[in-house]
């Protein structure tokens, strides 16, 4: 297989480890823990994995260890650094006993259920060190939730003599890892389960987890592109660029990219929801920025839009909920496409009708007509960046007639997501992921299950990083999912009283009016440490508090 | 102004120069030259600037030089490295006499006509060294073609005591630079004009010019993104990514990105035209690749599409030409929108009607209804990447029914252009551009006009680069533009018998069937030379012949 010059050179990079992990460790246990909410219920659901202490590793004495086998699974969407978690785990397992083996289950959790796997070797691992992607074993979205899956899994785990399973995933996958840990513990199956915090969305973080891996690299890749577009926009001086960024639930990516690039506007879904802004409020907010810059002769700019924005606008959320109800009726389903729109209009509430009628025709049609296999409106198909620029253009036209706006408005649209999920990891993610994987081997050797591998203090040099484990139950509470209360890891949305948002909020009026663009450029792997080894602005601001 | 850590560190980079330019130079003149075509006509049009020799600079004796002032203009679309041409010219001019001055005309050639300019200082120049963008003085698309513009220009040039003007631009801007040089020479105005070869499209190259600047950085930036998408695509294994790349006239960008990333397919407009492929031929070509991969269980892949593709399909070109005629009639212009479509259908020839009817409805509507201010069909509005994926999906559906295809087809779409035009220049472009600018100062000092600054042998280390000048008339021939024969620099399209295309053509069947992706990663400025200092694959293949 032909590989690029960068891959060849980068393969030699030796990721940094926390000082404590460089030799034999001893686990220092803290006090018993509690879940972040619904303590009684969570405790009842996880009798074997609830209340365990937080663990920190310190330098310890070397002890001989029997060979042991470990399995690993990549779950859900890709994130830069997944291959380094695996290579870190591989090196960690081998360092404890060279005869230990690491197996990878193929194409996600489904590989465990269907008994599809591969054994890692030195050569195999070496060709994936410090590379992006999840292609080493593939990923998948099968959810490990059913007893039949757990029982199918134990068969192959026993056959391969696997002592512990590491699951790399987001909040849902880690919740399921804990359910599996609890099940195997309750059944005395003798298989430990360890989780690893992954997601480019950055919404798996809390008091115990500083950041999910991949967020750093993905945001730096998007910020490179946003910076390049801003430089173009500031040179040509004739376009407004509407840039949508991946992230359905939380706006961490948009916020981080805004902190890195200082665009003229960045919408934060959580703020839009909290202020109960209407779609027209959002459009007016943008149009006013465009008009103010036009008054200075600046008919150009950049606007960052989180992918999930539209679902956070309360009026749209309400409209969508009613559309789902109205269109689900058997009566509606028997109608032709154009009749469905009339049906919708005559069956939804007055306030929803007003919102529906305010949408550009193409978007209204899409909302009323295109549904997913469960019959739900497909919000994700809406090109929010085009919806907003169309509505901004219409509003500016009105303002022009009213004499409130003098300028030219032309828009370009972008959507960045796939461009960053599989980028080669930054030094930060390469080190962080390798440490998470290596650390997981120490949790396994110490007999832990139902823990997440955790590395803290990552705004400091790697030698000062703190390695350990946190019981997954500690991060859980109960939330309603598909009509049922379920134990889940609480998703971290952008906190409007958190340091990153507050910094953004204090600076954005200046960024809107002036041209304060920053051009971060491409991720660098060699060169000055202030260029190559920085964490995200989000994390730096959070840790500086 | 806040700048990024990368910009700060990168500002200190000292671009490399050809050995000959490191000290005083002497101009070595070759034999008289001829234009590439229409010699008699071009000679008659350019009596003062025709037939001049190619010049090469060698090390010479230092001679004291009086201070002299120079002006510079950025013309047309942005390309990475423009700021380094300016800083190279600045350093070159100052090295000849520290009291010389460099002026920049603002927002393109219009700045010369309207007398808008700025004087460069050390501090000003230093803040733009090795950065992307044209924002140092802005660019513009005003064409210098009229005597009134030339006369307006000479007023400000005289006022500022400017001895020479450097115009950074593509083929058209360099043609106009030569027209201006000829005019000022004929009038004995005493102002020299020098051109510089710029365009990310890579279509300004010939026997004398190895490459236009910016092509290297733009292609590397797009290839980074394509590589990231390919890694994602190979991890998730469920999407076909249709990736459109900027470049209306030539497919050099698509070809270079294909050479760097080895996608499953890459369309080359020049080949489509030469083979007289129909839109259905193009769709069938892609669908067959999708079907063949599906047969191996690979329901994913990447397809590169040059922006201008659709205009190179002879049948579409013909349809567009007739649409422009038919819709120009006064009768058609008085019709409503939906009536216009019926009018079109009843007024175009049978073969064009068949092509029109084969298009997806939305594209047909767009072709028939959306026209530019001159009344022409707006081909550039067509989202070729979506057009093709829609038609491929329809064809695969038919094949599925016929039992010729078993698989799943889901598409994602991307368009990359603005992401690369203003990227910070690669080492290659940083060095090449700085040398082009520095070299221009030597052409000026040697009294040359109507020359393009040229640096050759750039596949070798910079010390071996050859600096000199080429008479712009040498690259000209006559071509029909807006109904008139005009002297123009011949545009370099992809040569189907050239080494880059031939290599691609020999490898593409393997890339189509197998997954041979290369992941180039982001441009690196520090680190091993094989990572940081490579030229494009196109240039390497061309020079290796």
**Catalytically active residues of A, by annotation:** 201
pLDDT at position B276 is 95
User: Using an 8 Å Cβ cutoff, are B386 and B303 in contact?
Assistant: no
Per-residue pLDDT tens over the stretch A63-122:
889 999 999 999 999 999 999 999 999 999 999 999 999 999 999 999 999 999 999 999
User: Using an 8 Å Cβ cutoff, are B38 and B477 in contact?
Assistant: yes
Residue A477 parent element (H or E): strand A476-481
Per-residue pLDDT tens over the stretch B411-459:
999 999 999 999 999 999 999 999 999 999 999 999 999 999 999 999 9
3-state secondary structure A258-278: HHHHCCCEECCHHHHHHCCCC
Nearest Cβ partner for A235 among B134, B231, B530: B134
How far apart CA A520 and CA A200 sit, in angstroms, is 19
User: Which neighbouring-strand residues pair with B167?
Assistant: B73, B195
From first to last of the 545 residues of chain B, give the pLDDT tens digit.
Answer: 789 999 999 999 999 999 999 999 999 999 999 999 999 999 999 999 999 999 999 999 988 899 999 999 999 999 999 999 999 999 999 999 999 999 999 999 999 999 999 999 999 999 999 999 999 999 999 999 999 999 999 999 999 999 999 999 999 999 999 999 999 999 999 999 999 999 999 999 999 999 999 999 999 999 999 999 999 999 999 999 999 999 888 999 999 999 999 999 999 999 999 999 999 999 999 999 999 999 999 999 999 999 999 999 999 989 988 888 888 888 877 777 778 888 888 999 999 999 999 888 888 888 877 777 666 777 778 899 999 999 999 999 999 999 999 999 999 999 999 999 999 999 999 999 999 999 999 999 999 999 999 999 999 999 999 999 999 999 999 998 877 899 999 999 999 999 999 999 999 999 999 999 999 999 999 999 999 999 999 999 999 96
Tokens of B420: 């690369």
CA B142, B145, B151 angle in degrees (round to 5)? 100
Can you give the length of chain B in residues? 545
Q: Which of A226, A299, A527 shows the shortest CA–CA distance to B423?
A: A226
Per-residue pLDDT tens over the stretch A196-234:
999 999 999 999 999 999 999 999 999 999 999 999 999
What share of residues in chain B are helix, strand, coil (percent, to 5)?
A: 45, 15, 35
Q: How far is B532 from chain A (nearest CA, A)?
A: 9
Residue of A nearest to B130 (CA): A521
User: Which neighbouring-strand residues pair with B302?
Assistant: B241
pLDDT band at A545 (very low <50, low <70, confident <90, very high): low
Q: Which of A85, A78, A28 shows the shortest CA–CA distance to A53?
A: A28
pLDDT at position B271 is 98
Q: In chain A, which residues have their Cβ closer than 8 Å to the Cβ of B228?
A: 132, 221, 418-423
Q: How far is A139 from chain B (nearest CA, A)?
A: 6
Q: What is the mean pLDDT of residues A357-382?
A: 78
User: Using an 8 Å Cβ cutoff, are A251 and A310 in contact?
Assistant: no
Nearest Cβ partner for B9 among A6, A107, A528: A528
How far apart CA A316 and CA A319 sit, in angstroms, is 5
Q: In chain B, which residues have their Cβ closer than 8 Å to the Cβ of A234?
A: 133, 135
DSSP structure class, residue A450:
S
CB contact under 8 A, A418 and B412: yes
How far apart CA B544 and CA A285 sit, in angstroms, is 56
How many Cβ pairs closer than 8 A exist between chain A and B? 189
Residue of A nearest to B532 (CA): A6
Regarding beta strands B69-74 and B55-59, do their DSSP bridges make them parallel or antiparallel, or are they unpaired?
A: unpaired
CB contact under 8 A, B519 and A132: yes
CB contact under 8 A, A522 and B224: yes
Q: In chain A, which residues have their Cβ closer than 8 Å to the Cβ of B6?
A: 519-522, 524, 531
Per-residue pLDDT tens over the stretch A311-351:
999 999 899 888 888 888 888 777 777 788 888 889 999 99
User: Using an 8 Å Cβ cutoff, are A409 and A240 in contact?
Assistant: yes
Tokens of A160: 């391969």
User: Using an 8 Å Cβ cutoff, are B283 and B342 in contact?
Assistant: no
Annotate A364-388 with b (16+ C-beta within 10 A) or e (fewer). bebbbeebeeeeebebeebbbbbbb
pLDDT at position A40 is 96
Q: Which of A6, A245, A337 to mutate to test binding with chain B, by most B CBs within 10 Å of its CB?
A: A6
Query: Does residue B201 have an active-site annotation?
Result: yes
pLDDT band at A302 (very low <50, low <70, confident <90, very high): very high
Among all chains, which residue has been given the structure tokens 């020359």? B451
Q: In chain A, which residues have their Cβ closer than 8 Å to the Cβ of B138?
A: 235, 237
Q: In chain B, which residues have their Cβ closer than 8 Å to the Cβ of A229?
A: 418-419, 422
Q: What are the φ/ψ torsions at residue A252 (nearest 5 degrees)?
A: -60, -40
CB contact under 8 A, B526 and A523: no
Among all chains, which residue has been given the structure tokens 């078993």? B406
Burial class for B67, CB neighbours closer than 10 Å (0-12, 13-18, 19+) = middle
pLDDT at position B26 is 96
Among all chains, which residue has been given the structure tokens 């995200």? A536
Among all chains, which residue has been given the structure tokens 């042998």? B457
User: Using an 8 Å Cβ cutoff, are A62 and A23 in contact?
Assistant: yes
Residue of B nearest to A381 (CA): B412
Least confident of A45-59, A218-232, A476-490: A476-490
CB contact under 8 A, B232 and A133: yes
DSSP structure class, residue A329:
S
Burial class for A453, CB neighbours closer than 10 Å (0-12, 13-18, 19+) = buried
How far apart CA A462 and CA A208 sit, in angstroms, is 18
Q: In chain B, which residues have their Cβ closer than 8 Å to the Cβ of A134?
A: 235-236
pLDDT at position B326 is 86
CB contact under 8 A, B523 and A523: no
How far apart CA B501 and CA B496 sit, in angstroms, is 6
Q: Which of A232, A429, A503, A520 to mutate to test binding with chain B, by most B CBs within 10 Å of its CB?
A: A232
Catalytic residue of the set B91, B171, B201, B203: B201
How far apart CA B83 and CA B87 sit, in angstroms, is 6
pLDDT at position A362 is 80
Residue of A nearest to B524 (CA): A524
3-state secondary structure (DSSP) of residue A241? strand
Q: In chain B, which residues have their Cβ closer than 8 Å to the Cβ of A528?
A: 5, 9, 526
Q: How far is B265 from chain A (nearest CA, A)?
A: 17
Q: Is the dihedral of CA A328, A332, A334, A335 positive or negative?
A: negative
3-state secondary structure A132-178: CCCCCCCCECCCCCCHHHHHHHHHHHHHCCEEEEEEEECHHHHHHHH
Q: How far is B465 from chain A (nearest CA, A)?
A: 23
Q: How far is A469 from chain B (nearest CA, A)?
A: 28
Q: Which of A83, A224, A297 to mutate to test binding with chain B, by most B CBs within 10 Å of its CB?
A: A224
CB contact under 8 A, A3 and B519: yes
Q: How far is A189 from chain B (nearest CA, A)?
A: 32
- What pTM does this model have? 0.96
pLDDT at position B362 is 80
User: Using an 8 Å Cβ cutoff, are B306 and B253 in contact?
Assistant: yes
Q: Which of A104, A127, A428, A522 to mutate to test binding with chain B, by most B CBs within 10 Å of its CB?
A: A522
Among all chains, which residue has been given the structure tokens 């590793």? A57
Q: Which of A471, A474, A469, A467 shows the shortest CA–CA distance to A453?
A: A469
How far apart CA B69 and CA B105 sit, in angstroms, is 13
Q: In chain B, which residues have their Cβ closer than 8 Å to the Cβ of A385?
A: none
Residue of A nearest to B230 (CA): A422
CB contact under 8 A, B235 and A135: yes
Q: How far is B478 from chain A (nearest CA, A)?
A: 31
Q: Which of A331, A327, A330 shows the shortest CA–CA distance to A345?
A: A327
CB contact under 8 A, B235 and A133: yes
User: Using an 8 Å Cβ cutoff, are A236 and B139 in contact?
Assistant: yes
Regarding beta strands A55-59 and A466-471, do their DSSP bridges make them parallel or antiparallel, or are they unpaired?
A: antiparallel
CB contact under 8 A, B236 and A424: no
pLDDT at position B40 is 96
Q: How far is A120 from chain B (nearest CA, A)?
A: 17
CA B311, A237, A239 angle in degrees (round to 5)? 55
Residue B245 parent element (H or E): strand B240-245
User: Using an 8 Å Cβ cutoff, are B166 and B72 in contact?
Assistant: yes
How far apart CA A177 and CA B186 sit, in angstroms, is 82
CB contact under 8 A, A5 and B528: yes
User: Which neighbouring-strand residues pair with A302?
Assistant: A241
CB contact under 8 A, A412 and B418: yes
CB contact under 8 A, B527 and A7: no
List of residues 6+ apart from B408 with CB closer than 8 A: B238, B294, B299
Among all chains, which residue has been given the structure tokens 């007893």? A147
CB contact under 8 A, A236 and B139: yes
CA A101, A104, A107 angle in degrees (round to 5)? 175
User: Using an 8 Å Cβ cutoff, are B19 and B464 in contact?
Assistant: yes
User: Using an 8 Å Cβ cutoff, are A453 and A194 in contact?
Assistant: yes
Per-residue pLDDT tens over the stretch A142-173:
999 999 999 999 999 999 999 999 999 999 99
For residue B179, CA distances in Å to A198, A422, B38, B192, B348 come to: 60, 49, 16, 12, 41
């Amino acid at each position: 297989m032909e590989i690029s010059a960068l891959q060849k050179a980068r393969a030699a990079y030796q990721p940094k480890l926390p000082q404590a992990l460089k030799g034999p460790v001893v686990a220092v246990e803290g006090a018993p823990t509690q879940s972040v909410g619904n303590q009684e219920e969570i405790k009842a659901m996880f009798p074997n994995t609830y209340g365990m202490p937080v663990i920190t590793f310190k330098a310890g004495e070397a002890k001989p260890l029997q060979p042991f086998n470990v399995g690993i699974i990549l779950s859900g969407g890709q994130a830069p650094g997944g291959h380094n978690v695996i290579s870190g785990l591989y090196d960690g397992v081998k360092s404890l006993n060279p005869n230990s083996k690491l197996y990878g289950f193929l194409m996600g959790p489904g590989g465990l259920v269907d008994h599809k796997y591969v054994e890692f070797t030195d050569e195999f691992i070496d060709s994936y060190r410090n590379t992006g992607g999840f292609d080493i074993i593939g990923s998948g979205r099968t959810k490990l939730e059913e007893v039949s899956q757990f029982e199918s899994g134990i068969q192959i785990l026993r056959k391969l003599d696997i002592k512990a399973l590491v699951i790399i995933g987001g909040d849902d996958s880690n919740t399921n890892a804990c359910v599996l840990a609890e099940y195997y513990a309750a059944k005395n199956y003798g298989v430990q389960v360890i989780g690893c915090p992954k997601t480019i969305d950055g919404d798996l973080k809390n008091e115990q987890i500083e950041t999910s891996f991949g967020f750093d690299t993905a945001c730096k890749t998007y910020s490179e592109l946003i910076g390049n577009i801003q430089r173009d926009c500031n040179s040509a001086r004739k376009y407004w660029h509407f840039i949508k960024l991946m992230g359905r639930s939380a706006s961490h990516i948009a916020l981080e990219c805004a902190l890195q690039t200082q665009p003229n506007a960045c919408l934060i879904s959580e703020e839009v929801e909290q202020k109960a802004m209407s779609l027209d409020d959002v459009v007016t907010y943008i149009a006013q920025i465009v008009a103010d810059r036009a008054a200075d002769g600046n008919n150009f700019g950049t606007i960052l839009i989180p992918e999930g924005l539209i679902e956070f606008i309360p009026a749209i959320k309400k409209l969508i909920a009613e559309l789902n109800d109205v269109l689900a009726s058997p009566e509606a389903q028997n109608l032709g496409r154009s009749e469905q729109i009339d049906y919708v209009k005559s069956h939804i509430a007055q306030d929803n009708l007003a919102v529906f009628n305010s949408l550009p025709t193409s978007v209204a049609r899409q909302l009323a007509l295109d549904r997913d296999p469960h019959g739900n409106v497909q919000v994700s198909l809406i090109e929010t960046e085009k919806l907003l620029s169309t509505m901004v253009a219409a509003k500016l036209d009105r303002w022009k007639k009213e004499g409130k706006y003098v300028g030219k408005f032309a828009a370009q649209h972008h959507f960045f997501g796939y461009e960053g999920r599989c980028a080669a990891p930054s030094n930060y993610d390469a080190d962080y992921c390798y440490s998470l994987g290596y650390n997981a081997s120490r949790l396994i050797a110490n007999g832990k299950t139902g823990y997440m591998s955790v590395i803290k203090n990552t705004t400091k040099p790697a030698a000062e990083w703190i390695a350990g484990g946190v019981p997954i139950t500690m991060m859980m509470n109960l939330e309603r999912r598909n009509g049922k209360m379920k134990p889940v890891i609480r998703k971290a949305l952008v906190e409007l009283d958190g340091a990153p948002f507050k910094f953004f909020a204090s600076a954005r009026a200046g960024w809107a009016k002036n041209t304060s663009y920053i051009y971060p450029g491409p991720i660098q792997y060699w060169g000055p440490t202030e260029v190559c080894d920085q964490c995200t602005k989000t994390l730096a601001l959070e840790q500086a508090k």
